[in-house]
Amino acid sequence: MDAEHVLIETSEGEILVELFPGSAPKSVANFLRYVGEGHYEQTIFHRVVRGFVIQGGGYDRELNKKPTHDSVENEAREGLPNIKGSLALARAREKDSARDEFFINAADNLDLDHRDDTDEGFGYAVFGQVVEGLDVVKKINWKVVKARPGFPELPGEEVVIWSVQRFD
């Protein structure tokens, strides 16, 4: 089976990601559903933690939460590691709460991997890997943040996700 790719076009440059449907089929299907609906167009990276992650896809440019579908089952147990450049689903405290938001690891974050089946230890499901554009991830990750109510790690300079499209 040919690898699936998506191109994330941002205000800082392009990021090409290879998806892993064989290892995380529910996560990939969930992400591609939002891609197909144009959900990520004109969203932002709303959480930037230097040396850790860049997170986005859930908020528009006015910081309004976008409507979502039901949450997806967490596939972190499948064992794909949260290494630098990997793409994973963001979630709330409950292990199966991931919806539209995703993050790209800016470093090896193995503490985000599956440890046990509790909500706290379940981990974050990796479903892709950056194959081109790690320099763009780094550029975004080094943005200066300016806290705003509800957004403690919001970049001071807006980082827009113009689009996310299949790229094969």
pLDDT tens by residue, 86-138: 999 999 999 999 999 999 999 999 999 999 999 999 999 999 999 999 999 99
% of the chain exceeding 90 in pLDDT: 96
Neighbours of 164 (CB within 10 A): 26
Q: Is 83 exposed, middle or buried (0-12, 13-18, 19+ CB in 10 A)?
A: middle
Domain range list for the chain: 4-166
How many CA atoms within 13 Å lie on the side-chain side of 107? 10
pTM score of the predicted model: 0.97
Per-residue pLDDT tens for 51-64? Answer: 999 999 999 999 99
Contact 158, 12 (CB under 8 A): no
3 state SS of 77: helix
CATH code of the domain occupying 4-166: 2.40.100.10
